[in-house]
Structure formats: C-alpha cells, structure tokens
Amino acid sequence: MLTTTQFYSTCTSPWTLIFSFCTIVLLHIFRRRPVLPFPPGPKGLPILGNALDMPCGNPWLTYSQWGKTYNSDIVHVNSLGTHVIVLNSAKAVHELFEKRSSIYSDRLKGKGLPYRIRMSWNIAFLPYGPRWRAWRKVFYEHFHPNASRQYRPRELRAARQLLENLLRTPEQYRHHLRFMTGQVIMGIAYGIEVAPHDDPYVSLAETALQAVESASTTGWTFDMLPFYKHLPWWFPGASFKKEAARLAPHIDDMVNKPYQTVKDALVTGTAVPSVAASMIASLGENPSHEDELASKAVPATMYIGGADTTVASLLTFFLAMVLHPDAQSRAQREIDSVVGAGRLPDFGDEMSLPYVSAVVEEVMRWHPVAPVAVPHRLIVDDVYKGYFLPAGSIVIGNTWAVLHDESVFPEPLRFQPERFLNLNVKLPDVGFGFGRRICPGRFMARSSMWITVASVLAAFDICPVVNGQGVPQIPKEEYSAGPVSYPEEFACTIRARSKHAEELIVSSLRDTT
C-alpha cells in the first residue's frame, strides 16, 4: 500500500503529468464521433492535430491555399481539440455569418487576446449577449447612414488640411495620413482637436494600437491552443505575454484620459459636441458602473477600430497610384471634366464621379486592411454542405479569399477599378466584418475615404521616385502580416498638378475653416 508521500510523489512525477495531459487531450478530441464528416482540411498529427499547421504570418494566404488544395470553400483543422473552420467564399460567409447569424456571432471564450491587453471593453471583442447588443445599439445610433452624414464637414476640413500638409512636406505623407485620421476620429469621439505633432492623445492611441498589434500577431493563434494560456511568459513562443502586460496600461490610459478630459470640460461648460459628451451627459448624477463603462467603451472602440484601418486603406491607395498611373490619370480626367478647375471635389460630386468611387472600392478589395476577420465562435452544433461543424468551433472569415475569388473578380491580383463600373459587380461589405459583427462605423469610414481620395487625386500627382540616372524606382507590393495589414514603407513623389492647384489647396482650406 502506498503511503501518502509515495502517492503524491507518483501523481506529480513528470511521466504521470505527461500521461495525464495526453489522456485529457485524447478524451477531448474523441469524446464524440459525429456521424457526418468534418469539412476537408490538412491531415493532422496524433494528439497535436493541426497545431503545427496553423499559420502565424499572412494566414489569409495559407487559408486560401487550403481552399484550393481541398477544392472546398470551407476548410477544417483541429488544433489540440479546438476545431477551426475557415470560410473562403462569399457564399459560405453569407450562409453562415448572415443567414445563421444567431449562432455564429459569438467571440472566443476564456482569457484570450482582449483580456491579455485589457481590452475586453472593445465592442468588437465582446461575447455575443445582452451587453454586446446594448453597446452595439448605442454605437449604431451615432453611426448609422443618416447620423454619419453629420460628420462630413469635419471629414472635408481634415481632407483639405491633408492637402496643405502634403504640399508643404510631401515626404512625410505617412505622418500626415495618421494625423488626418486622428483629427477626424478624436474630434468626433471626444471633441478634441489634436496637435499636428506630438499630440498626447494621439500618442496614447498609437501605443494602444501597438499593444493590439503585438498581441494579435501571435495571440489569436495561441487562443486556438487550449493549454497555451497557462504557460509562463518565458516559455518558447510565449514571450508575447510579457510584451502584452507591458503595453496593457497604455490601453487603460487611452480609454480613461480623453474620457476624463470630456467630463472635466462638461463641468466647466467648455465641452464641444462629441459622442463621449453626448453619452456622459445622458448618464445623470449617479450612473451605474455598466452605463459608465459603456460611455467609455463606445468612443474608445471608435478610435481603436477606425484609426489604423483608415490609414492602412489610404496607404494602399497611394501605393496603387504609384504602381498604376493609368488608373490615376483616368480618375483625374473624370474629376477635371466634372468638377472643373475652379474648386476641389466635395461630397456633392460623389454621384457624378463613378470612376473615383470605383478606385475607392478597388483599393478596399485589392488589399483589404483586415485580410482575416476577427474570429467568430459557433454556439451550437451545425451542418453545412453535409459537413459537421461542432459547437465551440472557431470560425474564421477569410476576407482576402472572398475579395480575390476569381469567379467574381477575374484576375484578382490586378488593380482594376473599372470592374466596379459594371453594375452587376458590387463590393461585399466583408472588408468591414461579417454578419451581426460587421463594423457599424463603416458608413463614416467610407465617406472619409472617398473625400480624401477625391481631394488628393484632384490636387496631386503621385509618382515613383526617380534616381540619379532618371530611372523610376518602382516600390514593391509588400504588406505587414498583422491584424491590420499595412503596405511596407515605400518612397513616392507627391507633387501638385499645377501652380493653380497649389493656390486652390491654400484657398480651399481657408474656405472650410
């Protein structure tokens, strides 16, 4: 008979722990064998399943290749008992995320990415339930199509300011684009006018965005590995936990500091209209913790969700114009014929500039800012095309695959705006998410994108840099692999189209202030 000491020694020996771990994993994997098959996918290893197959860099390309390899628009992998379903077509996305949205709108459970960086308040990460529905409703009230139109004057002023900044220091175009997006979003969210350089609120937000980038680059993958959240930060591959812990306080500052600024301004009577001011004013004298948390979450979600994505889209626009001068020239000819030489485009010209609008659509299709959407979670068992999809599955919408489907977009890697002049082709809103999880700020984002693109095309030529031998230096089409995918640094020449255009830039900014 074992003594108590011997019993605990046996139970805690390394081999016993390994055996126990393997047994638990096997029981988890084989606890039920569905009658119907899983969707096709790469064959996994014993116990590990497809854990080693999960891509860390450019996952949208791996997922797309799996779809082609297995000739299926829905692919299945099993990572240590966690089922992952990838949707690679508009049809699959529509059938599951749209028509069955009530069971496909949840997010990952447990202490995953949002908790590691203290961003569980972010509406995009909230579990599907009463809190999400309530906060989403408030967000939509400020950003539905009609409500979004009230922000157009601010978007127009920011676009005009961008033109003047590009005229003065065109080589700093990346900084100018980031300032413009901060100017728009901080103004709408908090009524805060940001400084052109070293603005403390923009700095807070940028550090917070770095935290999201750092955690997301590896975080979503490891959320698919059930045991990984228990490993210490020094374990190989888990160092991102330490980095996330370092950056998390900056997330807190981004949520709390501009919010407190608005509260103080309301007390002194100096607050300007904003989403935060409206929500704080509606709280009353003794707000509940839940109501105050919502009034912080909505404007903060605005910034964290809109700043990076808008900058990435506009950088893709600049890269596309450098690489495709014919598209740039055609758009400029359209602007010249419709708007004329006496002014710059405004929102009233949108319906008369179909090719410019097609350029905007093609920018968002050619390289979507979020090639892989934030993962969904299936609530109950489901069946699709005769395949079994188990409850608890992580369901990933591959935005890249949907927008590069050759049956819908021939030669999908080509930048070809005219494809959207065909009335039978309409860009799905998948670039903004799926189903009930689609971004409610997409209407404002589109209008801001349109006025910026139209204004820049009217005023500037965007060209390759020419070296000392007169040879154009064509930049490479390279993108970052993070959750928001940016073009890598590239040089370009941005010059006013004429002396008259320079004068128009200066006078148009004065007219909007």
Asked whether the beta carbons of 102 and 128 are under 8 A apart, the reply is no
Joined together, the tokens standing for residue 367 give 């390289």
Residue 273 φ then ψ, to 5°: -55, 135
Biggest alpha carbon distance in the chain?
A: 98
Comparing C-alpha atoms, which of 250, 259, 282, 263 is closest to residue 186? Answer: 259
Q: Give per-residue burial for 193-226: e unless 16+ CB within 10 Å, then b.
A: ebeeeebebbebbbebbebbbbbbbbbbbbbbbb
Joined together, the tokens standing for residue 244 give 């996330």
CA angle at 151 for the pair 149 and 156, rounded to the nearest 5°: 105
At position 63, the amino acid (one-letter code) is: Y
Joined together, the tokens standing for residue 489 give 């640094």
The position carrying tokens 């709408």 is 188
Look at residue 116 and give its three-state secondary structure.
Answer: helix
- Is 56 assigned to a binding site? no
Burial of 404 (C-beta count, 10 Å sphere; 0-12/13-18/19+) = buried
| Parallel/antiparallel/unpaired status of strands 82-87 and 394-397 | parallel
Burial of 263 (C-beta count, 10 Å sphere; 0-12/13-18/19+) = middle
- DSSP label at residue 386: T
Asked whether the beta carbons of 67 and 53 are under 8 A apart, the reply is no
How many whole angstroms separate alpha carbon 293 and alpha carbon 272?
Answer: 21
How many whole angstroms separate alpha carbon 119 and alpha carbon 471?
Answer: 48
Bridge partners (DSSP) listed for residue 479: 487
Comparing C-alpha atoms, which of 99, 444, 486, 472 is closest to residue 315? Answer: 486
Asked whether the beta carbons of 363 and 320 are under 8 A apart, the reply is yes
List C-alpha distances in Å: 412 to 365, 415, 434, 461: 9, 8, 21, 26
CA angle at 427 for the pair 422 and 433, rounded to the nearest 5°: 175
Binding-site residues for heme, in ranges, read: 439
Binding-site residues, in ranges, read: 439
